Amino acid sequence: MSIDHDSGNRHVDGEGPDIRTGRLPAAALADNFNDAHPPLTRQQAVIEASRCYFCYDAPCVEACPTGIDIPSFIRSIQTGNTVGAATTILNANIMGGMCARVCPVEELCEEACVRNLDEDKPVGIGALQRFATDHLFDEGRQPFVRAAPTGRRIAVVGAGPAGLACAHRAAVLGHEVVVFEAREKGGGLNEYGIAAYKTVDDFAQKELDFILSVGGITLKTGAVLGRDFSLADLRRDYNAVFLGLGHNAVNALGADGETLDGVLNAVDYIETLRQATDKGALPVGRKVVVIGGGNTAIDIATQIKRLGAEDVTLVYRRGPDSMSATWKEQEWAQTNGVRIKHWARPVRLIGWPDGKPGRNGRQAVKEIEFEYTQLDDRGRLAGTGDTFRLLADQVFKAIGQTFQASTAFGGEGAEILDQDGDRIAVNDDRMTSLAGVFAGGDCVPGTDLTVAAVEDGKIAANAIDRLLRG
Ligand SMILES: Cc1cc2nc3c(=O)[nH]c(=O)nc-3n(C[C@H](O)[C@H](O)[C@H](O)COP(=O)(O)OP(=O)(O)OC[C@H]3O[C@@H](n4cnc5c(N)ncnc54)[C@H](O)[C@@H]3O)c2cc1C
Ligand code: SF4
């Protein structure tokens, strides 16, 4: 076993964990959490739009999970019809503004763009989409008009991208919608999860206000399915139900020492960070280790570095190609000073001697022992038996979130809906095994992305509309 000397200054025995608030002055924090990708000016947008070939059967449209007519909205920008461009986008994807900020375009529309060649670069579809939707928001336009009232009522549980997309489409089609949301604010992970520098100036709230402003949607916050009401109640009182519950549990490491003080769930810390009015008040370790390989791992590693952590190491059990974070996200973390170490898995977390306590009074974490990994003859992940240790004041677990039906449905039990793995099983219309009950987003099988959740909500609303109109 070896001690990893690359990870910066070492703990001095007897001192205890170095976790502090206010590691950086307010001005530096404001800078670090400013817009990661500033918006295009009108002139830049028109120049970028002119790079589009306006392809017939455009591959970028195929690659967009919500099927936005990309060449059409780019043409509108080029001809100065920016509101028209935004309307095209929002018709297909009501969260086109947020998706322009958070979509991994390098693996979706921009990867498919015919200009994405070695000697060229793809059209900046994400940046153009943001330009158009920001313009519409700035002008305070409402491009949607509701259809005549149908007299039908729909209950939506969860005000994340899936629930809000369903609510909006259903309201536009003339139905009355009530959205029940457990938290204090709507928006789901747009409000509580997405990295702070991707969505500045309270954009999640602005987008939520825009969605609700179409009319016909009542948002009830602090209303928890399984605690305040049951699925049976909703089925009795509404003509259809949509469940956009997201994830409600995080995966455990399953390594000894996981409960030591200073070992945190990345999503919980990110939630606190997103809601913090003073980021300087957040506790930040000097040496931080992040375990995981997805968006959450990249986001916590980069954000904790930008909060002033001196030394951040992200450890992932496989190689870079297996990480669910895209190459661009990995590059982003590295350019922010995060060190990524592949092919290692945690074996145990070791506390400070004599039970030295951390901020919460429990024995604090001091270091983590990892085992190197490799693929065996049958392509399965296996430990090599060689180990190394990393010193850590804080450890963030970011090895994935899951959906637990038993938690979501309270006393009704998990068995009320058929499941597919740990998620709710749905058909192509996003209908569950219960008649009139639909589901979408992270609580159903598929890709866990904002854009995918929006598409689920949209598909479900259209299917509910067909069902209710007989
Ligand atoms: C840290 C992090 C960073 C991410 N970054 C990106 C990114 O950059 N790009 C990207 O495309 N995707 C990203 N994602 C994924 C993306 O945020 C999700 O795929 C998306 O939010 C899923 O939408 P949803 O509506 O299914 O769930 P959520 O956004 O989780 O919304 C579910 C809502 O349901 C509510 N709810 C849950 N249970 C109940 C209940 N019992 N009663 C009432 N309400 C309930 C919750 O409070 C929540 O508001 C990220 C995820 C995380 C965790
Ligand atoms: S593939 Fe590229 S060039 Fe073709 S329409 Fe889409 S954005 Fe324009």
DSSP readout, 243-297? E-----EE-----BTTTSBTEEEHHHHHHHHHH-S-GGGS-EESEEEEE-SSHHH
Rounded to 5 degrees, what are φ and ψ at 395? -125, 130
CA–CA separation, 434 and 441 (whole Å)? 17
pLDDT at residue 411 in the model: 76
Reading the block at residue 156, the tokens are: 């939506």
pLDDT at residue 442 in the model: 97
Ligand 2 centroid – CA 91 distance (Å):
19
CA–CA separation, 367 and 353 (whole Å)? 11
Beta bridge partners of 156: 179, 242
pTM of the complete model? 0.95
pLDDT at residue 359 in the model: 87
Ligand 2 in contact with 54 (CB < 6 A)?
A: yes
The residue among 288, 102, 104 whose CA lies nearest residue 191 is 102
pLDDT at residue 8 in the model: 43
CA–CA separation, 241 and 468 (whole Å)? 12
pLDDT per position as a tens digit, 327-355: 999 999 999 999 999 999 999 999 999 88
pLDDT at residue 409 in the model: 87
Reading the block at residue 422, the tokens are: 């740990």
Beta bridge partners of 341: 315
Ligand 2 in contact with 62 (CB < 6 A)?
A: no
Reading the block at residue 424, the tokens are: 């709710």
H-helix segments, 140-254: 161-172, 189-192, 203-212, 231-237
**Residue nearest atom 6 in ligand 1 by C-alpha distance:** 194
Q: What is the mean pLDDT of each run of 10 residues along the chain (470 residues)?
A: 45 76 97 95 97 97 98 98 98 98 97 91 98 97 96 98 98 98 98 97 97 98 95 96 96 93 97 97 98 96 98 97 95 98 97 88 95 94 97 97 88 83 96 97 96 98 96
Ligand 2 mutation pick, 54, 88, 113, max ligand atoms within 8 A of CB: 113
Q: What is the dihedral of CA 426, 429, 432, 438, to 10 degrees?
A: 120
249-250 and 401-402 as β-strands: parallel, antiparallel, unpaired? antiparallel
Ligand 2 in contact with 327 (CB < 6 A)?
A: no
